[in-house]
Structure 1
């Protein structure tokens, strides 16, 4: 965990904002020297983490590093805060009253001197501790080189493979198909088929089943198996292919076994000789190569290897197994074969095979019954089934089986080739910035539906997302992190709705997150009474847990959250304790709480970046002191239905980027909103008295959400010149067809969601003004909608089109086929339109058959192969 804190600090110190501010305050050199020492420490932390369990002194050394880094976080936090206060004073006209009110120190020289002293003191401590690294023999380790995969081989006992018959046949059928892109010359003579899945899913086992299938012997003259793993060394791979090709030829040859004498030692040949020998083996041969366990994401290396081996006869095939969707798309010529989990029946069969000697299970029906419950936690992953089954082999004590059933996977003992070590290989392969983001999944319960907004806000609040050039928005960077986690198979069941991205985390990946996060990320429930003092992030999942005096007195706590809807804080006394105790909090989630007021002391949380008060339906007022939280980036007040008005001084929240409002106000203070120059997401929920928003421009707003604002009548879009996302739901009186504001031609909208308009017959004409940029269009629950706008030929960006619960809509436009960028089409709750769009039989099918993903109604769907 020390590595994560160090990396976060390095990211901050390298950012454009810090460099500029440190120069302004005259502490640039001090911070630079501190950063240099941090960089040295960072290089050996991976080695220290690996060795700490064997050396008690090393654990203490890591704790010292962590304590120093926590103190450094606090100092840098004060530095950021002072910079924000300076900006607010400048924007406020710098009157003496405001200076006294906002400035923690009226003497900038004294602040600079104090800051330099603190940085020097922390740097001295870090220098002293860092020097001790030599005592432990620590070395700098590249995490990518630390990953060691298990060598694989093609041999397999067919009787030991359970539940993959259908998958084997599907892959064999793919291998028997011609190249999907036509001719049989050049680089199209060889087709690459990727098999993708998380660690332990059985990709290698499936590849073995296919490799040894008798149909392959008839189809391919040569079959070669190459275990690649993390070291994508072209020379080593060539040697493996040559040796495997020779062995394949000798095995299939009718010559006597003395033919093995033809095997030679080629390890000493240079690369030119090896390439020549490779071409001799493969030229003109129709071959099958399995590249098992590929981790390389360097496209240049792959293309180099591909160019060397594409000398075979037309119809040659390559099977690639990998955990990465990105690698699969980079290498594959066809869509990836996404390997799913085993069925419950097959899981139980596999479990019984590993837990009992043959036939022994019949003597222990009570254990088999418990076994059925145990395999549920494996979520269909064969290696997890094998891990738990083998751990119970020859153990007939019911209590031991119940312990395995009731324990989290990460608490169970694991051998080197068991499921958690297998999954940890994927974790170790990730860059450090992604690993520290992954830890936060441990704060949420299993089966939780994540959305990109919450996770991105969480990461940004803790400084895990830094823009090095000062221009790229942290939300954009965080979204890329989520895409990368998906590519690496760490998230699944992804739904991309344009501006919102929902996903889930496999139970075993969740166990991995718990395992690697350990004592720094703690989930608090009624069973957890032991919160370690070094905890940094607390997640409370049961109301009953709040009755215990569990919370440590620690300056390290940075997050408190309630991740389950309906579970919130009921005791204001506990909140008072948190405010006084955890003054360096960055993230405070008080959603679904049920107290009537927020204490004025909330202003003491000067480092707070995220405050969620959603669905607090008793709060009538908020203290104006909340507007002293100058670091606050996200303020969520949605669902605070009793809130009379917004706090005065809202415009002082100069760091605010996302604001969700529920209020009884009929008129909003424009001047306050106009001062929020960094505000990019603005949402109004259940604002029953609000008739209009603003008349003047809010140039920073990029996303606007309006939900259940029943009195809202007008929406002048021209006041939001940078608007990219517009979501409107259940705003009965809002007349979308009447918008005479100009100039509408400036609309650059990317995502448009229109739902629950009971009287809308046609879509507003101003949509046409966004046709050049629109990527997502969702129309839902429009019972009177009869016609769609005619999509012009310039609409080349539309990727997602969702039409749901529009029963009067009978037809698509005749030029739907011109939407060449469309990747995802979903139509449901439109009976006649659904009938016309049915695969193969529907009259509109020829217009939409080219789309990658088409889902029509609840019973049918089409996915491009």
Structure 2
């Protein structure tokens, strides 16, 4: 059954009702008493919600009661949002000073007189419904539990693709696979079919097949054995075209950990061009290819792929991971390597590592005995052991340990080796707000590679990131949540670059997200024939969208998103239906769409926080009515290559945190950005005619800007960095006319910059001196494709906070080896295409194993 997140929703709503801003607004509009009544009733109801969630499986009608509370809370939240919209509109009207704007506001439905009557009616209706539902709850005999105590102490976040120290009991398996890779092909290591040895690793979900393959893939012996290493995750759909693209991109990546380096633009190539490019990449190369998570049992498709990749040199090898013995037999050229569960001893060791601080288990022999019983129920599956160990980390409460051991979920009818009960128990130990955030992973497909900004914007737009003291930025709160989920083993493969970080959700954990979220969250594909009325969040993951009649007529939808690259909306009829029907939308992600016109009626979506129109290749103009969306926090037209201009009045979007722009404009009007005082991220991509970003007078008003991305703006002359005092991150790439040295003539200014990415400047021989101003704060320095660059910054030895240094395709670069002594905090060093570096000296340095590439 789906989970209820009503406690978290009620707590968030009470926080709003208790704020000074809402109290003032309610008095001004004459609805104070009704709002106070809602707050008082909800405070009483909230006290029993945790008990209700615990007992909902056993008491008839309790689940429906929780659903009714949740629905009325959502409706109340929509009403309160109206106050925010009204406040933002008043602020814009006041700032504009325009008689025309003020007259237009008076005759609109948002003026004070009309607004007062409408709000009074809606708030009274919510109060009456809530009072009735609260009275109905008395019959359940619920106990008062005010605080959600499930939060456990959090571990520190780690960022390597696989941390060998966290892997227990797989050393023998690793050596056996490496031994197979080092052996000659049993058929003689010939050419054609005989040039490929396919080694299948087979086992149930959660055993660690992918982890084992990564341990092998990252072993230094593989770099000596193979000229080329490629990693491709296949998952559910065995699409030959997409697999070819993934192999080419993996082969093209000069440094596998450089997540921000742009891959080849080959998505538009036809299959003939792709297979030619693939053969060129692999021909006569001795390669190692990992095909991770295979589900395809169509032998014909496998043969088609195999025929394309059997052009490598003698000794090329393929590792396949799969849960299916029949698939392993179909693909393998040698007998499958069957991965077994961990031994009881290794399971205990793994559990201890995740459930206790080092040495702490000796202080709690009683907990260790319970832990051994819990581990037995995990059946040797590392993911289950790690997840349950994480959920109990640093808690010595005997009741909690016994609760996990004795929970009735273990008695449910299960499939053979099913670990979902173990994961569900770990999920149940999470605090309500974290469980609520986790459910949104159900909107994304398996093996989706998340970037923090995407999930942060989603959570923030839906009001899930509440600051305990009211002062924390949503980005920081989101990072805390992601770290917490990672510490509980719900997230993996975290790659950190400071302001940008990437991660994955294990496919079994993804199954759990689907399990807990299935009634309100739905992934829609071309085969979907019905979307239930109570669904509030949908993602569309295939082109060939169903008819608009499939979408619910209720107005409850809050999220519509297209998360997969290349999948978007083409129908303007469906778009107009959505805009007219779903007035409470918070997220409308129409990225990768191909409609030509956005309707003027978009202004009706006054609750909208995210509007993403990125990568639309057909849209040329945008309605100025977009600028009436004063609640908008994220707006993107990045990659809209035909867009002639931004809508007029974009400065009215006073709540924008993130703005991403592609436009054919050569200049931006002087007052466009004057009122964007909350703007933290600003991106200009493919603005081929733009000569200047913004004038100095404007930028003094962008004092909150923290991230600036400038990419492929071929006419751009300069970067006005000297008036961005709070800039944390700068990404600049492929801007052929830009003068990076502007401002070097003035005294060196101190920066707070932590992230710097410079890419594709063929003429650049030295880096600008202004980098010296960030020497004390810089944590990530990424330099790619600067063929004439001779020296890294002179201040490099003073970068005592530098954690990541990535350099690629800088063949003229000279490096003074002694500089490495000073980089005491360096964790990740990746260098490729720089033959002048003294690698013998570098190899002698005692850097962490995962540092040097």
What TM-score do you get using the length of structure 1 for normalisation?
0.68
1:635 alignment counterpart: 635
1:673 alignment counterpart: 673
Per-residue deviation, 1:854: 1.1
Inter-CA distance 165–442: structure 2 relative to 1 (3 Å threshold)? closer
2:576 alignment counterpart: 576
1:763 alignment counterpart: 767
Q: Could you tell me whether the CA contact under 8 Å between 1:562 and 1:590 is conserved in 2?
A: yes
Q: Could you tell me whether the CA contact under 8 Å between 2:8 and 2:432 is conserved in 1?
A: yes
Q: Return the match for 2:752 from 744, 748, 751.
A: 748
Per-residue deviation, 1:135: 1.5
- Classify the secondary structure of the residue corresponding to 1:672: coil
- Classify the secondary structure of the residue corresponding to 1:825: strand
1:166 aligns with 2:167: no
1:433 aligns with 2:436: no
Per-residue deviation, 1:326: 7.7
Q: Could you tell me whether the CA contact under 8 Å between 1:13 and 1:31 is conserved in 2?
A: no
Per-residue deviation, 1:795: 2.3
2:23 alignment counterpart: 22
Specify every segment of 5 or more residues in structure 1 that has no aligned partner in the other structure, as ranges.
Answer: 148-162, 171-197, 213-222, 245-288, 295-319, 332-386, 392-411, 857-865
| Residues 753-762 or 87-96, more deviating | 87-96
1:486 alignment counterpart: 486
| Residues 519-528 or 51-60, more deviating | 51-60
Pairing of 1:248-267 with structure 2 (within 5 A): none
2:314 alignment counterpart: none
- Distance in structure 2 (CA, Å) of the matches to 1:94 and 1:413: 68
Specify every segment of 5 or more residues in structure 2 that has no aligned partner in the other structure, as ranges.
Answer: 153-167, 176-204, 212-339, 377-383, 396-408
Q: Could you tell me whether the CA contact under 8 Å between 2:14 and 2:43 is conserved in 1?
A: no
- Distance in structure 2 (CA, Å) of the matches to 1:672 and 1:59: 50
1:240 alignment counterpart: 366
- Distance in structure 2 (CA, Å) of the matches to 1:488 and 1:510: 14
2:273 alignment counterpart: none
1:809 aligns with 2:813: yes
Q: Return the match for 1:138 from 130, 142, 147.
A: 142
- Distance in structure 2 (CA, Å) of the matches to 1:424 and 1:45: 20
Per-residue deviation, 1:475: 1.7
Q: Could you tell me whether the CA contact under 8 Å between 1:226 and 1:240 is conserved in 2?
A: no
1:796 alignment counterpart: 800
- Distance in structure 2 (CA, Å) of the matches to 1:34 and 1:718: 50
| Residues 785-794 or 562-571, more deviating | 785-794
Q: Could you tell me whether the CA contact under 8 Å between 1:707 and 1:728 is conserved in 2?
A: yes
Q: Return the match for 1:323 from 387, 392, 395.
A: 387
Q: Could you tell me whether the CA contact under 8 Å between 1:199 and 1:423 is conserved in 2?
A: no
Inter-CA distance 435–82: structure 2 relative to 1 (3 Å threshold)? same
1:501 aligns with 2:505: no
- Classify the secondary structure of the residue corresponding to 1:673: coil
1:827 alignment counterpart: 831
- Distance in structure 2 (CA, Å) of the matches to 1:413 and 1:527: 30
2:611 alignment counterpart: 611
Q: Could you tell me whether the CA contact under 8 Å between 2:17 and 2:35 is conserved in 1?
A: no
- Distance in structure 1 (CA, Å) of the matches to 2:95 and 2:529: 48
TM-superposition CA deviations, 1:69-110 (whole Å, max 9, x none): 222122111111111112112222374642533785676477
Inter-CA distance 601–736: structure 2 relative to 1 (3 Å threshold)? same
- Distance in structure 2 (CA, Å) of the matches to 1:227 and 1:820: 28
- Classify the secondary structure of the residue corresponding to 1:549: helix
2:585 alignment counterpart: 585
Inter-CA distance 701–129: structure 2 relative to 1 (3 Å threshold)? same
1:10 alignment counterpart: 11
Q: Could you tell me whether the CA contact under 8 Å between 2:4 and 2:67 is conserved in 1?
A: no
Per-residue deviation, 1:776: 1.0
Q: Could you tell me whether the CA contact under 8 Å between 2:26 and 2:35 is conserved in 1?
A: no
Pairing of 1:256-655 with structure 2 (within 5 A): 322-323=386-387, 414=414, 418-547=418-547, 549-655=549-655
Inter-CA distance 166–291: structure 2 relative to 1 (3 Å threshold)? farther
2:156 alignment counterpart: none
- Distance in structure 2 (CA, Å) of the matches to 1:589 and 1:790: 44
Per-residue deviation, 1:464: 0.5
Pairing of 1:819-858 with structure 2 (within 5 A): 819-833=823-837, 836-837=838-839, 842-847=840-845, 849-851=846-848, 853-856=850-853
- Distance in structure 2 (CA, Å) of the matches to 1:669 and 1:87: 21
| Residues 547-556 or 631-640, more deviating | 547-556
- Distance in structure 2 (CA, Å) of the matches to 1:13 and 1:51: 23
Inter-CA distance 15–65: structure 2 relative to 1 (3 Å threshold)? closer
TM-superposition CA deviations, 1:456-494 (whole Å, max 9, x none): 000001010122433211122112211111111111111
Inter-CA distance 469–236: structure 2 relative to 1 (3 Å threshold)? same
- Classify the secondary structure of the residue corresponding to 1:598: coil
Per-residue deviation, 1:290: 8.1
Inter-CA distance 753–106: structure 2 relative to 1 (3 Å threshold)? closer
Q: Could you tell me whether the CA contact under 8 Å between 1:47 and 1:140 is conserved in 2?
A: yes
Per-residue deviation, 1:790: 2.6
- Distance in structure 2 (CA, Å) of the matches to 1:49 and 1:328: 20
2:345 alignment counterpart: 209
Per-residue deviation, 1:544: 1.9
TM-superposition CA deviations, 1:183-220 (whole Å, max 9, x none): xxxxxxxxxxxxxxx987799974733599xxxxxxxx
- Distance in structure 1 (CA, Å) of the matches to 2:448 and 2:776: 36
- Distance in structure 1 (CA, Å) of the matches to 2:824 and 2:394: 22
Inter-CA distance 327–136: structure 2 relative to 1 (3 Å threshold)? closer
Per-residue deviation, 1:57: 2.5
Inter-CA distance 765–66: structure 2 relative to 1 (3 Å threshold)? same
- Distance in structure 1 (CA, Å) of the matches to 2:353 and 2:689: 66
- Classify the secondary structure of the residue corresponding to 2:749: helix
Inter-CA distance 520–717: structure 2 relative to 1 (3 Å threshold)? same
Q: Could you tell me whether the CA contact under 8 Å between 1:536 and 1:556 is conserved in 2?
A: yes
- Distance in structure 2 (CA, Å) of the matches to 1:17 and 1:707: 44
Q: Could you tell me whether the CA contact under 8 Å between 2:559 and 2:585 is conserved in 1?
A: yes
What TM-score do you get using the length of structure 2 for normalisation?
0.69
Q: Return the match for 1:722 from 704, 726, 729.
A: 726
- Distance in structure 2 (CA, Å) of the matches to 1:58 and 1:416: 32
Per-residue deviation, 1:20: 2.5
2:285 alignment counterpart: none
Inter-CA distance 52–469: structure 2 relative to 1 (3 Å threshold)? closer
Q: Return the match for 1:42 from 46, 50, 54.
A: 46
1:64 alignment counterpart: 68
- Classify the secondary structure of the residue corresponding to 1:827: strand
Q: Could you tell me whether the CA contact under 8 Å between 2:555 and 2:582 is conserved in 1?
A: yes
- Classify the secondary structure of the residue corresponding to 1:831: coil
Inter-CA distance 828–28: structure 2 relative to 1 (3 Å threshold)? farther
- Distance in structure 1 (CA, Å) of the matches to 2:478 and 2:92: 27
- Distance in structure 2 (CA, Å) of the matches to 1:146 and 1:818: 39
Q: Could you tell me whether the CA contact under 8 Å between 1:717 and 1:741 is conserved in 2?
A: no
Q: Could you tell me whether the CA contact under 8 Å between 1:168 and 1:210 is conserved in 2?
A: no
Per-residue deviation, 1:650: 0.6
Per-residue deviation, 1:826: 1.6
- Distance in structure 1 (CA, Å) of the matches to 2:17 and 2:793: 45
- Distance in structure 2 (CA, Å) of the matches to 1:58 and 1:31: 26
TM-superposition CA deviations, 1:105-147 (whole Å, max 9, x none): 6764774575455334323321221222231233356766799
Q: Return the match for 1:76 from 75, 80, 98.
A: 80
| Residues 48-57 or 645-654, more deviating | 48-57
1:273 alignment counterpart: none
Inter-CA distance 493–595: structure 2 relative to 1 (3 Å threshold)? same
| Residues 767-776 or 9-18, more deviating | 9-18
Per-residue deviation, 1:812: 4.1
TM-superposition CA deviations, 1:763-815 (whole Å, max 9, x none): 11110011111111111111222211233554222121111222222424523
For these two proteins, the number of residue pairs brought into alignment is: 651
- Distance in structure 2 (CA, Å) of the matches to 1:496 and 1:486: 13
- Distance in structure 1 (CA, Å) of the matches to 2:342 and 2:551: 48
